[in-house]
C-alpha cells in the first residue's frame, strides 16, 4: 500500500498552507505543529513532511525549534525541507533531529554540493526535492524558475546514490483538485529504483486509492487533512494497514 506522509508547513512556528506556492495566499490553522505531529503518530503514521517556508525564503532554517520539539517528543520519522543551502544548515537540521533532509534549490543550482551530500550521507537521508511549474524546476521557495526538467535533475544524481525524490506540482499544490497522476506514473516507470513521492493536489482518499492502484509508493497529504477531506480515522485505518 502507498505510504501517506502528512505535511506540516511552517511560517512563524505555526501550521499554514499556501495556494500554488503563493506566500500572499496563506491560510493559518489553529493546531500547533507539535499537536499535529502527536495526532499523526497516534494514527500510526510513520513519517511526517515538515516544510520551513520561512527558511525557504531566507535560505537558512528558521523553525528548527519546532523540529527539535517534535523529534524529542514524538516517535515518528521527520523529513525536513526549506532553507538547507549550506553544509552548516544541513548539519543543523540533522542535529535538530530530522530523519531525512529535503534538498531542492541547492540540488538545482549547485548540483556538485548535493552530489557530495548524497555520497556522504547516503540516499536514505538525502531526498531530492523537485518543485515543478510548467514542466520546469522552481527554486528558492518556488519564487524563481529554472530551465531544468525533473528528468534532467534525476539523471544528474542517479550515479551518486539518489533513492528518494519528492515531486511537487506547484500548479496543483493547495488546490484540492487531484494530483498530476500521469507525471508520477511516468517518472516511477522510468526510474524504478527511485521512490517518487506524490506531492500537490491530493483532495481525498479516492485520490490516494487511485495512486495506490497505479503502484505509486508514497504520497504527501496536507490541506486535505486540515480541511477534513481526509479524516483522522481514514488516516488511521490506512496507516495501520499499510
DSSP letters along 133-174, please? Answer: ETTEEEETTTTEE-S--HHHHHHHHGGGT--EEEEEETTTTT
Phi then psi for 230, rounded to 5 degrees? -120, 120
Q: Is residue 9 annotated as part of the catalytic site, yes or no? A: yes
**DSSP SS3 for 113:** helix
User: Which of 52, 54, 131, 212 is labelled catalytic?
Assistant: 131
Query: How far is it, in rounded angstroms, from Cα 49 to Cα 6?
Result: 6
CB 14 within 8 A of CB 29: yes
**Which alpha helices (DSSP H) does the chain contain, by range?**
33-42, 53-58, 64-73, 87-95, 105-109, 111-121, 150-157, 181-190, 205-213, 223-226, 232-241
Residues taking part in catalysis: 9, 131
Amino acid at each position: 500500500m502507498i505510504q501517506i506522509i502528512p505535511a506540516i508547513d511552517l511560517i512563524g512556528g505555526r501550521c499554514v498552507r499556501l495556494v500554488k506556492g503563493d506566500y500572499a495566499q496563506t491560510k493559518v490553522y489553529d493546531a500547533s505543529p507539535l499537536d499535529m505531529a502527536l495526532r499523526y503518530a497516534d494514527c500510526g503514521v510513520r513519517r511526517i513532511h515538515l516544510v520551513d517556508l520561512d527558511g525557504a525564503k531566507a535560505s537558512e532554517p528558521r523553525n528548527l525549534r519546532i523540529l527539535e520539539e517534535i523529534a524529542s517528543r514524538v516517535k515518528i520519522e521527520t523529513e525536513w525541507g526549506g532553507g538547507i543551502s549550506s553544509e552548516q544548515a544541513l548539519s543543523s537540521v540533522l542535529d535538530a533531529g530530522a530523519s531525512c533532509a529535503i534538498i531542492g534549490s541547492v540540488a538545482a543550482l549547485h548540483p556538485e554540493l548535493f552530489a557530495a551530500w548524497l555520497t556522504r550521507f547516503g540516499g536514505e537521508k538525502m531526498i531530492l526535492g523537485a518543485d515543478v511549474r510548467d514542466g520546469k524546476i522552481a527554486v528558492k521557495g518556488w519564487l524563481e524558475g529554472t530551465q531544468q526538467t525533473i528528468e534532467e535533475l534525476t539523471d544528474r544524481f542517479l550515479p551518486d546514490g539518489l533513492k528518494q525524490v519528492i515531486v511537487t506540482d506547484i500548479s496543483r499544490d493547495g488546490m484540492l483538485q487531484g494530483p498530476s497522476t500521469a507525471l508520477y506514473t511516468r517518472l516511477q516507470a522510468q526510474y524504478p529504483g527511485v521512490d517518487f513521492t506524490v506531492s500537490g493536489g491530493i483532495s481525498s482518499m479516492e485520490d490516494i486509492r487511485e495512486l495506490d492502484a497505479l503502484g505509486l509508493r508514497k504520497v504527501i497529504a496536507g490541506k486535505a487533512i486540515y480541511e477534513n477531506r481526509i479524516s483522522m480515522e481514514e488516516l488511521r485505518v490506512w496507516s495501520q494497514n499499510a
